[in-house]
């Protein structure tokens, strides 16, 4: 399955939030959406989620144009802040969303329990939402995104407020979902983490999207025993196999290698190349 958008625009009065956006995400892949604050990323995601009508442009699934109602049935949307009914418990919140998506009362309850287990909130199932921390609410928001088993996931700063362990688990869960056939589009300013999970990147500035210009391969840092960190060697290899072969050759040649690590700076470099204003 593929979700695609062409020529999307959206204005609010005189303010043009999205001036021209093209997006394509396919099953089994995780795509990053990167850009400075105010670039139009959230507005774009809301249109792709079927929650905001574009002024112009088309959104298609598998080549067929689709309306907002149909989009909402196949897309899981996670905003950067998950608003909750503070008086309801975690399981009640997820069950309610399950019912809204057409599940029976029993199915909705079962799905809620399973998802709370997935995001490690089972012990908080019967706690009112106002007792949850910022990170716990964020994990509850991720669970809510998955209630109706969406084919497309759209996530806006999903790791915001999460502790390091939860961020690692989220990264692994997103990769597992992509491997099971989901198409994932994730907007985040945490570029180091984003670079570890994405297969492709879309860059957005001033309301317009463009493909990323990431260089091929990855850079690796190599340091030998006694060598100051500041003078470590940096080399680029096309893939891990070539990097491993070079390391083996260094060791055979008698080099005492104490550090050999990939440096994931390509996404950061691409972002800094935008020369965008700080926001």
Q: How far apart are CA 275 and CA 150, in angstroms?
A: 36
Which contacts qualify for 231-238: CB closer than 8 Å, 24 or more apart? 232/259, 234/263
- pLDDT, one tens digit per residue, over 112-162 is 999 999 999 999 999 999 999 989 999 999 999 999 999 999 999 998 888
Note whether 196 and 228 are same-domain residues.
Answer: no
Note whether 141 and 190 are same-domain residues.
Answer: yes
Please tell me the total count of domains within the chain. Answer: 2
Return mean pLDDT, the chain. 90
Query: What order of strands is seen across the sheet that includes strand 218-224?
Result: 233-237, 218-224, 257-263
- pLDDT, one tens digit per residue, over 169-219 is 999 999 999 999 999 999 988 887 787 788 888 999 999 998 766 556 778
At residue 223, the pLDDT reads 95
Given pLDDT bands bounded at 50, 70 and 90, which one contains residue 72?
very high
Note whether 196 and 229 are same-domain residues.
Answer: no
Q: Are 225 and 260 contacting, i.e. CB atoms less than 8 angstroms apart?
A: no
Handedness of CA 98, 104, 105, 109 (dihedral sign): negative
Burial 241-277 (b: 16+ CB within 10 A, else e): eebeeebeeeeeeeeeeeebeeeeebbeebbeebebe
For residue 248, what are the domain limits? 218-272
Q: For residue 268, what is the enclosing H or E element? A: helix 266-272
279 in a structural domain: no
103 in a structural domain: yes
Name the packing angle between helices 134-145 and 105-118 (round to 10°).
130
Note whether 155 and 226 are same-domain residues.
Answer: no
Note whether 11 and 48 are same-domain residues.
Answer: yes
277 in a structural domain: no
Note whether 57 and 27 are same-domain residues.
Answer: yes
Note whether 143 and 64 are same-domain residues.
Answer: yes
Note whether 115 and 249 are same-domain residues.
Answer: no
58 in a structural domain: yes
Note whether 147 and 178 are same-domain residues.
Answer: yes
């Amino acid at each position: 399955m593929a979700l695609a958008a062409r020529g999307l625009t959206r204005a609010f009065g005189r303010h043009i939030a999205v001036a021209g956006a093209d997006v394509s995400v396919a099953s089994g892949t995780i795509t990053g959406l990167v850009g400075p604050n105010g670039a139009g990323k959230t507005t774009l995601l809301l249109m792709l989620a079927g929650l905001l009508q574009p002024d112009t442009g088309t959104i298609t699934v598998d080549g067929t144009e689709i309306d907002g109602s149909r989009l909402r049935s196949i897309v899981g949307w996670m905003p950067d802040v998950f608003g909750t009914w503070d008086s309801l418990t975690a399981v009640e919140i997820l069950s309610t969303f399950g019912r809204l998506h057409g599940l029976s009362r029993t199915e909705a309850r079962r799905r809620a329990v399973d998802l709370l287990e997935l995001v490690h909130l089972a012990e908080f199932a019967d706690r009112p939402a106002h007792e949850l921390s910022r990170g716990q609410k964020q994990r509850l928001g991720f669970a809510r995104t998955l209630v109706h088993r969406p084919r497309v996931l759209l996530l806006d700063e999903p790791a915001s407020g999460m502790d390091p362990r939860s961020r690692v688990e989220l990264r692994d869960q997103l990769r597992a979902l992509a491997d099971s056939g989901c198409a994932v589009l994730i907007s985040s300013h945490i570029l180091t983490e984003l670079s570890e999970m994405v297969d492709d990147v879309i860059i957005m500035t001033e309301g317009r999207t463009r493909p990323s210009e990431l260089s091929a391969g990855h850079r690796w840092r190599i340091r030998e025993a006694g060598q100051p960190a500041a003078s470590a060697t940096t080399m680029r290899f096309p893939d891990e196999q070539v990097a491993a072969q070079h390391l083996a050759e260094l060791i055979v040649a008698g080099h005492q290698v104490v550090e050999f690590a990939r440096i994931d700076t390509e996404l950061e470099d691409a972002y800094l190349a935008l020369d965008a204003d700080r926001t």
